[in-house]
Chain A
Amino acid sequence: MLRKGITESFGAAIHALNTTKLTDGVISRSKRMMLDTLGVGLIGSRTAVFNKALTYSQSFKSDERSSVWGKSQITLPPPYAAFVNGIAVHSMDFDDTWHPATHPSGAVLPALLALAETLPSRPSGLDLLLAFNVGIEVQGRLLRFSREAFNIPERFHPPSVVGVMGSAAASAKLLALSPAECIHALAIAASSAGAPLANAATQTKPLHIGNAARRGLEAAQLAQMGLEGNPAILDIPSGFGVYYKDYSPSAMTVPASGDFKWMLEDQDIAFKRIPAHLGMHWVVDAALAARAKLENTARNVDLRQIRRVTLRVPPSKYVDCPLPATEHQARHSFQFNASSALLDNKVTVSSFSEAQINRPALKELLSKVKVETPKDNQPSFDKMYCEVEIETDQGQSYAARCDTFYGHWRKPLSQEDLVDKFSVNASSVLCSEGVEGLIDVVGNMERVRECSILGSYLRLTSSQQEQCYSQRRL
């Protein structure tokens, strides 16, 4: 077995990274990710898939218990808390997206919070920030081991490949495992990686993130108990390389003195404004702009006069769905999102309800939508664009193009809009004390004494008004 020492370098790096290596830039960006993740997880706790997973998870007994976000009375064994909270985060496809493509935070934060609530060492906010960033960094590194990872996926759903590794690395960091144990945590996690893309656009997709969180946490715990895997797991093609057609790993080094260059500082993250696959954001922005042009010339927008709508998008089969039947398909449909935007002049959380999906007016508009995949439109979140062209019965044509939607890493959400998204999401489940408490704690995370206080706020549901007053503590 040819060992190039890459896995070894990851184990050493995870162990060596400490809070002094965190920079202002990376702290600031990762706090935004944490806040957004908590918000989408809270609103996600209202979904059918979350409830199924919760009911299932409640059949397990344990002595140690961790919080379930958005539930005041229910706790679960830590791995299952990570499981259901991870599912909640990804349940509406509303969570953050990075480049190369994955949803990094949902695989890491639920595992860390579940773990933090049980550790006698009572980790601080800074400890949480460090472990979180380790989990994000490892994912970013692994995604750069192949060219395949730079495009919209076709085989394996990326969170299921790199997410579990990130969760294992983050958990290993929080557990303060030795370098050797960190190596084995990664190796054990690799045997839990890889779910096929076909389950995207279905109710099972959120489980990819839930399982990544859960099984990464378990991998770290098993490594702590002495379980071993292949110590060259990242080095060899029959290891982590099985998930990619081209695979070229490289080492991770942490300078003993001096700065560590976090990937998050170089490559920012995208936050979603719409609970749908990232590609939909381009098409919605373009559709809204085209609609605005139509509105400018015609005083009354009569959508029945639309003869045809042409979408020019990158080729990506799993988001090309002409007639979605479920909410999951609707979140993965260029056609649906463009049509919703044209019909309602907005696309929101409620656009994906069964009633909205089945509207006759929407179905009629869908029947007029045509998709084209121009050669210059590359299936990469860094390079793609979307064009929407409306043709009316009178032969008029209104078109618009979106290269970068608002919320993309090239055009980040303002802090105000990010907090606003969080507030709307969190308020669907928590009372205002909980909402504001979370904004406050996350905003000051690097100064927080015990990060497990997040759990208390995450349980302040709005149906328990008395609890809002009785559980007030700092």
Chain B
Amino acid sequence: MISTLQKTIRPVWAVRGLHKSAVAALKRPDPEDTVTASYGRFISEVKPQHLSSLVLHRSKRMVLDSIGVGLIGSTTDVFELALQHCQHMYAPDDISSVYGRRGSRLSPTLAAFVNGVATHSMDFDDTWHPATHPSGAVLPAVLALSDMMPNSKPSGPDFLLAFNVGIEIQGRLMRFSHEAHNIPKRFHPPSVVGTMGSAAACARLLSLDHSQCSHALAIAASLSGAPMANAATQSKPLHIGNASRLGLEAALLASRGLEASPLVLDAVAGVAGFDAFYEDYVPEPLESPNDGHVFLLEEQDMGFKRFPAHLGMHWVADAAASVHKLLVGLGPGTVSPSQVQRHPAQSPQIKVHQQAIPRI
């Protein structure tokens, strides 16, 4: 079925097509000048002394809160299920610790997985703006990796640096789109930026070179993205667990020389990289840590939860508590449901949170 054309006649319609030649290849951007390369360089060059005292203080609060919610999270059903899965399908491995279980250790990525699940199991973990739960994706991975490093265990400053790199990268990536500034509708943010943050943090802790750091991010991009529909289900904590695990995995694979797209963060028309996860996307390079770089945590503090529920619930609960105070004063009075005729709640339009009578 191979048809032929006349030897000497060149069809006229061919002229309308696009013309490309090898010369065009020379006009591609210098590989060192890309957004992706700037991220690789930042991760490999940043040092503990680049952390200001405010960033140190804020990130220590995050670490403490994250460990706490992870520990109480280790008492949940979903954590137990995830742990049993790992112990059954794999086997105990005397490397990385598991939250709340003295006798159990797992191989590093699996420990990162279950500890990440624990952290997000009660929706009790920290929330940032733009919205994501940054610590749960990073801390379990960094802890698991620290347990794995054979001879030179990381110092406190190295550990905090890696943690902050993981947070910073997440914040920067979320600023690439307007979509990320609103409560999400398509992809659950921790599954998008959390994996990238974990990869960055682990690449930093492993002291990978700038090229390996870039590839760690690119490998992680292929492991990112989970739909919002699984939020408000038992699977949601796995989004954080997997972000942590797969980011660590990406960094480990990069350390073995695995390579991926050198343009994953840059917006290349017709071939989606990290921009696959967003409707609008404008990436910016990350400046060198020596060039007046300021960590986002310096400018944008973290939200910690007082009770284990989606962040939006905290506004509603505080408002309801204020109404309660108006009704019964500051004493130990109660409001009887029969006294309440109607309570219209005004809240932003968020489908997944509008559950009149939740089933679980």
Contact surface of A with B, Cβ cutoff 8 Å: 1, 49, 52-53, 55-56, 59-64, 77-79, 154-157, 160, 187-188, 190-204, 207-208, 211, 218, 221-222, 225-230, 232-233, 236, 238-243, 285-286, 289, 293, 310, 312, 315-318, 320, 322-323, 335, 366-376, 387, 389, 396-404, 411
Contact = CB atoms under 8 A, between A and B. Distances in A.
Contacts of A197: 271-273, 276
A154 to B, nearest CB: 6
Contacts of A233: 227, 229-230
B2 A286 contact: yes
B57 interface: no
Contact of B272 (A198, A369, A401): A198
Contacts of A318: 270-271
B191 interface: yes
Given A155-B276, A191-B238, A375-B16, A198 B227 contact: no
Nearest to A379: B270
Given A187-B230, A402-B2, A225 B107 contact: no
A198 B7 CA distance: 39
Nearest to A367: B22
Contacts of B82: 222, 227
A322 B24 contact: yes
Contact of A312 (B14, B257, B275): B14
Interface residues of B, number: 78
A331 to B, nearest CB: 14
Interface string B211-239: 00000001101111111111011110011
Nearest to B191: A191
A62 B187 contact: no
20 contacts: A60-B110, A61-B92, A154-B271, A156-B272, A188-B235, A191-B226, A192-B226, A196-B273, A199-B273, A202-B261, A227-B238, A229-B235, A242-B228, A312-B17, A368-B22, A371-B19, A374-B14, A374-B17, A399-B7, A401-B5
A227 B117 CA distance: 12
A126 B108 CA distance: 38
B276 A79 contact: no
A389 B15 CA distance: 13
Nearest to A326: B259
Interface string B274-307: 1111000000000000000000000000000000
B61 interface: no
Contacts of A375: 13, 16-17
B260 interface: yes
Contact of B14 (A195, A322, A372): A372
A191 B89 contact: no
Contact of A400 (B4, B14, B16): B4
B17 A227 contact: no
Given A49-B258, A242-B228, A198 B89 contact: no
A64 B264 CA distance: 37
Ranked 3 nearest A-B pairs via Cβ: A372-B17, A317-B270, A198-B273
A157 B226 CA distance: 15
B261 A204 contact: yes
B151 interface: no
Contacts of A286: 2
B177 to A, nearest CB: 14
A273 B252 CA distance: 34
Nearest to A320: B20
Contact of A323 (B1, B25, B90, B224): B25
B90 A61 contact: yes
Contact of A196 (B4, B191, B272): B272
Contacts of B345: none
A202 B10 contact: no
B227 A191 contact: yes
A406 to B, nearest CB: 10
B226 A317 contact: no
Given A154-B272, A198-B264, A207 B81 contact: no
Contact of B219 (A77, A187, A207, A232): A207
Given A78-B89, A156-B272, A204-B222, A228 B233 contact: yes
B178 interface: no
A350 B212 CA distance: 28
Given A230-B229, A240-B227, A373 B17 contact: yes
A392 to B, nearest CB: 11
Given A194-B225, A289-B4, 14 more contacts: A60-B107, A61-B91, A193-B225, A199-B219, A199-B221, A202-B260, A204-B258, A221-B85, A285-B2, A312-B17, A322-B24, A367-B21, A368-B22, A369-B21
Given A61-B90, A156-B272, A188-B235, A372 B81 contact: no
A398 B6 CA distance: 8
B8 interface: yes
Contacts of B352: 238
B273 A230 contact: no
Contacts of B20: 320, 322, 370-372
A322 B5 contact: no
Contacts of B85: 218, 221-222, 225
